[in-house]
Amino acid sequence: MGYCEICPKAYAWYIVAGEAGNESAKQAIRSLTPKLTTEQIADIRFDVGKMYAGGVGVRRRDNVAAYKWFVLADAAGDGRARNEQKKLAASMRPKEIAEAVSRASAWLSGRRSPFQLVKSANR
């Protein structure tokens, strides 16, 4: 599958659904993840951050979750992510920012690769 065959925006919806516990979304993520490029992963992480920041497709707007995903997008090379972090930081307490960074670090440490979007299927 090429870049056009896996739409990062659609994949971002899978991520949000998977985080909400949807097993079908988690399975879709596991099967699609190996086909993604590093650029796509950065785009997906950025899109998930925007969804949480805007309260789109999630139960409620969540700046901590948004900041976490922007940290992850930045780690994957998305140049837009730092600007979004700065915007969010203006309305967040230092404790919330620290929590978001901690969540991003924990998220990354649970994966074999910093670009892996989900934990391995054998978990």
Per-residue pLDDT reduced to its tens digit, 65-94: 999 999 999 999 999 999 999 999 999 999
Q: Is the pLDDT of residue 1 over 50?
A: no
| CA 46 – CA 42 distance, rounded (Å) | 6
| C-alpha closest to that of 38 among 77, 69, 70, 67 | 77
Q: What is residue 2's predicted lDDT score, i.e. its pLDDT? A: 47
The percentage of residues in the chain with a pLDDT greater than 70, rounded to a whole number, is 85
Q: What band does 113 get if pLDDT is binned at 50, 70 and 90? A: low
| pTM recorded for the entire structure | 0.85
| CA 51 – CA 53 distance, rounded (Å) | 6
Q: How many CA atoms are closer than 13 Å to the CA of 49, on its beta-carbon side?
A: 26
Task: Please state the three-class secondary structure of 21-35 as a single string.
Answer: CCHHHHHHHHHHHHH
